Amino acid sequence: MKTNKLEEIKYFLKYYDGPDMNIMEVCGSHTRAIAENGIPGMLSERIHLLSGPGCPVCVAPSSYIDRLIELALEPKTVVAAFGDLIRVPGSERSLSEAKGEGAKVEMLYSPLDMLELATQNPDRLYVFAAVGFETTAPVFAELLHRAEEEGVENIRLLTAIKTMPPVIQYLMEADAPIDGFLAPGHVSVITGSDAFLPLAKRYDIPFVVSGFSGERLLLALYDLVSCRGRGVVRNDYPSVVSAEGNLAAKAEVNRYFETATAVWRGMGAIPNSGLILKEKYKKYDAGSETLTEDKRKNKACICHEILAGKKKPFECALFGKICTPLQPQGACMVSQEGSCFSYYSHQRER
Amino acid sequence: MCVAYPGIVEKIEGRSALVNFSGNIVRAASGFVAPQVGDRVLVHAGYIMQKVSKSEAEELQELFDELEQTVADKDRMKTNGSDDSGRRSDESEQERTTANEDE
């Protein structure tokens, strides 16, 4: 039964001849999975996939990277970061390039690993590059909880934590031509699928929460096209996503963080789209709030338009020529979940 | 960056759990979900985000079955104009729809 239905879905998506349907994914893992599963080639020419601002590393402004480099070059300060962030260019260079000048940078799988480092090296200050969406915010809260409990004083966060619904609203208010959103699967684990309901209603567009396998993506795209023009939220990932999300994780995040205006690379300041430390916990902040400047390393880079769904990577003059994963000119080509990296690696042409 | 992987909880140690990913054992913070040994869980950046309530295969089968039912009911509604079929179609659709506008 599943095989037959899947074949029907594939046929529907391939030969769909209704009104054009622009679908945006706002999750870097979806961007990657769409390319890896060859989904674009399975769709009718009337179904258009757009990659939105779903890669948190890609949307961190250049001043954020510059500040991390400054910190890593300070005596007795170590910057710890997720691997994706190390090669993201700031206004002039990346953390990786700064390492050659003596910057102290540790690549960690989990922020919690920094506690052990900080405990073992009490004469050093450890700063975690706290980049992420709602998915990752709980682990930063857990880090602070444990640091408080264990009395670890030599840790800080440089925050660039973003939240998804406000940036979706920003895109819709900017008249982005979007008819439906593939809602981010792992963000939704924490937020719950209902987080997208006000947006669905306000703009009369469907949101479908999806997992990451090819079958799941096809099902979600089928649901999105089927719901064109309707303000609905569907949850196609119910094994881990509920309507209300992970309440305990959300409560812990709310204990340490509050919403604030955040700067997105290439898109500017978006109200209520970020999380910063509450006043009570500012002692853990490494100077996050002043980081609003955003300079492009290469003026011809159009990462900002790509992140907003206005252009596709292959429409950039730099793409595949002087901008490659080995020599990225913009953040979208750095992260494995960046749109340009994904299009380049999988030779996507649509 | 929001990548998360499913694994099986092998042991609970205070606010952490040891999670088995195909033989690799990783420590993950467990305070947000209170898992039991043997639970299948989703782990991101060193913490357990959620328990996984069913396998990928089971869930996909259910999603496709529901879709099959929804489409069948809609077809029947088109053919018969039956009120009953229409109601069943809405109910079937509602299972996968966490929320929708007032229709």
Contact A246 B49 (CB under 8 A): yes
Tens digits of residue pLDDT in A274-323: 999 999 999 999 988 777 777 777 889 888 888 777 888 999 999 999 99
CA distances from B14 to A52, B25, B27, B43, B71 (A): 39, 17, 11, 17, 48
Question: Please, are residues B31 and A248 in contact by the beta-carbon 8 Å criterion?
Answer: yes
* Set of chain A residues whose Cβ sits within 8 Å of the Cβ of B1: 28, 55-57, 82, 84, 131-133, 135-136, 335, 337
Cite the DSSP H helix spans in A49-184.
Answer: 62-73, 95-99, 113-120, 137-150, 164-173
Q: Chain B residues with CB-CB distance to A under 8 A? A: 1-4, 15, 28-29, 31-33, 42, 44-47, 49-56, 59-61, 63-65, 67-68, 96-101
The Cα A111–Cα B60 span in angstroms is: 33
Predicted pLDDT at B41: 96
CB contacts under 8 A, A 151-210 vs B, are 184, 186-187, 189-190, 193-194, 197, 200-201, 204, 209
Point out the residue among A131, A189, A236 whose CB comes nearest to the CB of B49. A189
ipTM: 0.89
Average pLDDT over residues A195-220: 96
Pairing of strands A155-162, B24-29: unpaired
Q: Where are the domains of chain A?
A: 1-297, 303-345
Confidence of residue A348 (pLDDT cuts 50, 70, 90): confident
Contact A193 B98 (CB under 8 A): yes
Tens digits of residue pLDDT in B44-61: 999 999 999 888 778 888
Q: How far apart are the first and last CA of chain A?
A: 31
Closest by CA to A211, choosing from A228, A232, A189, is A189
* Set of chain B residues whose Cβ sits within 8 Å of the Cβ of A222: 67
Query: What residue type is B31 in one-letter code?
Result: G
| Both tokens assigned to A181 | 């959103």
CB contacts under 8 A, A 234-263 vs B, are 234-241, 243, 246, 248-249, 252
Report the CATH architecture of B5-51. Answer: Roll (2.30)
| Both tokens assigned to A148 | 């408080």
Tens digits of residue pLDDT in A328-345: 787 788 777 788 888 888
Best of A36, A110, A149, A207 to disrupt the B interface (most B CBs within 10 Å) is: A110
Residue B103 has pLDDT above 90, yes or no: no
- The verdict on A13 touching B (C-beta cutoff 8 Å) is no
Residue A4 has pLDDT above 90, yes or no: no
Point out the residue among A84, A145, A146 whose CB comes nearest to the CB of B1. A84
- Farthest-apart Cα atoms in chain A, separation: 65
Predicted pLDDT at B79: 59
Question: Quick one: which H or E segment has residue A6?
Answer: helix A2-15
Determine the topology of domain A1-297 in CATH.
Answer: Rossmann fold (3.40.50)
Q: Report the chain A residue with the minimal C-alpha distance to residue B45.
A: A110
Q: Compute how many other C-beta atoms are within 10 angstroms of the C-beta atom of residue A146.
A: 18
The Cα A191–Cα A214 span in angstroms is: 24
DSSP letters along A282-343, please? GGGB-S-TT------SSTT--HHHHHTTSS-GGGSTTBTTTBBTTB-SSGGGTSTTSHHHHH
Contact A235 B98 (CB under 8 A): yes
Contact A190 B67 (CB under 8 A): no
- Coil vs helix vs strand at A51: strand
- The verdict on A2 touching B (C-beta cutoff 8 Å) is yes
Point out the residue among B46, B68, B100 whose CB comes nearest to the CB of A1. B68
Contact A238 B96 (CB under 8 A): yes
Token look-up 């309440």 returns A247
Task: State how far residue B36 is from chain A, nearest Cα, in angstroms.
Answer: 16
Task: State how far residue B84 is from chain A, nearest Cα, in angstroms.
Answer: 22
The percent of residues in chain A predicted with pLDDT above 70, rounded, is 99
What does the DSSP 8-state code read for residue B8? E
The percent of residues in chain A predicted with pLDDT above 90, rounded, is 71
| Both tokens assigned to A209 | 């929460």
Predicted pLDDT at B67: 78
Point out the residue among A131, A216, A230 whose CB comes nearest to the CB of B60. A216
Between A41-55, A171-185, B49-63, B64-78, the lowest mean confidence (pLDDT) is in B64-78
